[in-house]
């Protein structure tokens, strides 16, 4: 016997308020929630189990429209297909089709937005955006993400592969990450065409064959005291900041971004938070008397929270400050970063301090993960003696 249908009228549907399932017949129901919201559902049996399929909210979906949708579901069920499973498959296919229309630039922007919170600085964000926009974006940014092929990537990389190998390698890695993200999100399928191993390695020479290792030009440590004497005669915040960088064997970015909130003058310690460190780990720097003297001078003319303020109000010195200072001193043969090598050479050749202590002073990762887990301290007091000796060595030509 056929199931009775069309039990409800449009007037009844409008007037019903009791939270319940109100049957229209043959599996179609008006569902009223405890909050009074109304919606249509279709209930049916498949493999001995009751399935519930939503047909839309009332009054957006009228009684007549709900009956049409229920009829469609019944016809699908009559063909031996689960209507709910079919709808989900169609929605998934539509989503994939829509996703595949995304361009490389769309997905690159999405990738950057999803990952930038985990990057330590604005510089990292700039590097990613630059490589993805200036290089990859210019080559195939407007192409659908699913159509970015190995041939397109090779064509983009070839002009810079041997001319700018470091840049080319970084661009390739960034494109690889974006395409891996696209595959994970279902925007494209198949292998990643930007992978080096098994893909681009057959189309381009290995970077190790075309790239020469470039070291930051460093001053021989025996010449460091004379340089510090000349540097002391230079005026301005950049000169004092470079003195401080050399005395603490710190990276340029760590010194330029140094804030008074990181300095503890009474304990003679500079604590650099992890987000400002290359390793991502907090680093404590013991301050020698010459370094404390520089901080004392800086404190006397303090203008902001930055120890070495720049031209703009509330801003630190520019990344170009040390470069311009060395040019004025006619020392284009060396770099500010190279003084870390000067310190390393001095400590290794002229002292008996252990290698691990020297590397720790440079904020380098020491040992494997297990060894680091068992090394609870950071050797601060031992490093304090090392930095005191370094300060004395640098200032041995200083005249009182």
d(CA 188, CA 15): 49
Question: What is the average pLDDT across 242-248?
Answer: 96
DSSP state of 281: S
3-state secondary structure of 69: helix
Residue percentage of the chain with pLDDT more than 70: 91
Here the contacts of 212-219 (C-beta below 8 Å, separation 24 or greater) are 215/338, 215/341, 216/335, 216/337, 216/338, 216/340, 216/341, 217/333, 217/334, 217/335, 217/338, 218/334, 218/335, 218/338, 218/339, 218/340, 218/341, 218/342, 218/345, 219/334, 219/338, 219/339, 219/342
Q: What is the pLDDT of residues 114-142, one digit of tens each?
A: 998 888 677 788 888 888 988 898 899 99
CATH 1.10.150.130 matches 104-210: yes
Q: Which pLDDT band holds residue 96 (cuts at 50, 70, 90)?
A: low
Q: What is the pLDDT of residues 275-287, one digit of tens each?
A: 888 777 899 999 9
Q: Please report the pLDDT score of residue 211 as a whole number.
A: 64
CB environment 113-144: b (16+ within 10 A), e (fewer)? eeeeeeeeeeeeeeebbebbeebbbebbbeeb
- At the topology level, CATH places domain 10-92 in Double Stranded RNA Binding Domain (3.30.160)
Find out whether 351 and 386 touch, Cβ atoms under 8 Å.
yes
Q: What is the pLDDT of residues 51-75, one digit of tens each?
A: 899 999 999 999 999 999 999 989 8
Q: Please report the pLDDT score of residue 123 as a whole number.
A: 73
Q: Does 400 have pLDDT greater than 60?
A: no
Q: Please report the pLDDT score of residue 216 as a whole number.
A: 64
Question: What is the average pLDDT across 34-45?
Answer: 92
Question: What is the average pLDDT across 146-153?
Answer: 93
d(CA 294, CA 235): 13
For 368, phi then psi, to 5°, come to -85, 180
pLDDT, the chain, mean: 87
The residue that leads in pLDDT, 186 or 21, is 21
Q: Which CATH class is domain 221-394?
A: mainly alpha
Q: Does 370 have pLDDT greater than 50?
A: no
Q: Does 328 have pLDDT greater than 80?
A: yes
Question: What is the average pLDDT across 145-173?
Answer: 91
Residue with tokens 């399929």: 53
Q: DSSP letter string over 87-124?
A: HHHHHHHHHHHHHTT-BHHHHHHHHHHHHGGGSS-HHH
d(CA 17, CA 216): 78
Question: What is the average pLDDT across 86-91?
Answer: 82
Give the angle 201-207-211 at the CA atoms, nearest 5°: 165
Question: What is the average pLDDT across 155-172?
Answer: 89
For 352, phi then psi, to 5°, come to -110, 20
Q: Does 248 have pLDDT greater than 60?
A: yes
Q: Please report the pLDDT score of residue 374 as a whole number.
A: 38
Q: What is the pLDDT of residues 22-39, one digit of tens each?
A: 999 988 999 999 999 999
Q: Please report the pLDDT score of residue 371 as a whole number.
A: 42
Q: Which pLDDT band holds residue 3 (cuts at 50, 70, 90)?
A: low
Residue percentage of the chain with pLDDT more than 90: 56
Residue 349, CA atoms < 13 Å, CB-side half-sphere? 9
Q: Does 330 have pLDDT greater than 80?
A: yes
**What are the Cα distances from residue 174, in Å, to 118, 188, 212?**
15, 17, 22
Domain boundaries, the chain: 10-92, 104-210, 221-394
Q: Does 143 have pLDDT greater than 60?
A: yes
Find out whether 157 and 126 touch, Cβ atoms under 8 Å.
no
Q: Please report the pLDDT score of residue 127 as a whole number.
A: 84
Range in 18-27, 31-40, 270-279, 365-374 with the lowest mean pLDDT:
365-374
Question: What is the average pLDDT across 349-377?
Answer: 73
d(CA 333, CA 219): 8
């Amino acid at each position: 016997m056929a199931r009775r249908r069309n039990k409800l009228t449009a007037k009844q549907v409008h007037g019903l308020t009791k939270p319940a399932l109100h049957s229209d017949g043959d599996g179609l129901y008006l569902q009223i929630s405890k909050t009074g919201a109304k919606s249509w559902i279709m209930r049916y049996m498949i493999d001995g189990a009751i399935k519930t399929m939503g047909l839309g909210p009332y009054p957006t979906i009228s009684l007549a429209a709900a009956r049409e949708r229920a009829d469609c579901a019944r016809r699908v069920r009559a063909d031996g297909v689960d209507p709910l499973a079919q709808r989900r498959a169609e929605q998934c296919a539509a989503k994939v089709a829509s996703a595949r229309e995304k361009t490389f630039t769309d997905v690159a922007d999405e990738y950057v937005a999803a990952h930038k919170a985990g990057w330590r600085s604005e510089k990292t964000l700039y590097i990613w955006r630059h490589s993805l926009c200036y290089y990859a974006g210019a080559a195939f940014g407007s192409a659908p993400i699913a159509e970015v092929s190995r041939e397109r990537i090779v064509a983009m990389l070839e002009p810079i592969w041997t001319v700018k190998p470091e840049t080319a390698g970084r661009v390739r890695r960034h494109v690889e990450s974006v395409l891996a993200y696209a595959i994970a999100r279902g925007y494209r399928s198949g292998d990643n065409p930007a992978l080096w191993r098994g893909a681009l390695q057959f189309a381009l020479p290995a970077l190790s064959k075309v790239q020469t290792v470039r070291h930051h030009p460093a001053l021989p440590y025996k010449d460091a005291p004379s340089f510090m004497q000349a540097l002391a005669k230079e005026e301005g915040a950049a000169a004092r900041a470079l003195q401080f960088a050399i005395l603490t064997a710190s990276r340029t970015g760590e010194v330029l971004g140094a804030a008074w909130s990181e300095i503890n003058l009474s304990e003679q310690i500079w604590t650099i938070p992890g987000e400002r460190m290359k390793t991502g780990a907090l680093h404590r720097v013991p301050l020698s008397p010459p370094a404390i003297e520089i901080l004392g001078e800086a404190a006397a003319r303090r203008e902001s929270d930055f120890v070495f303020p720049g031209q703009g109000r509330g801003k630190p010195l520019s990344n170009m400050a040390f470069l311009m200072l060395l040019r004025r001193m006619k020392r284009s043969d060396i770099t500010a970063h190279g003084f870390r090598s000067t310190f390393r050479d001095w400590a290794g050749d002229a002292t008996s301090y252990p290698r691990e202590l020297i590397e720790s002073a440079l904020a380098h990762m020491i040992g494997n993960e297990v060894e680091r887990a068992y090394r609870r301290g950071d050797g601060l007091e031992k490093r304090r003696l090392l930095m005191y000796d370094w300060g004395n060595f640098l200032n041995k030509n200083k005249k009182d």
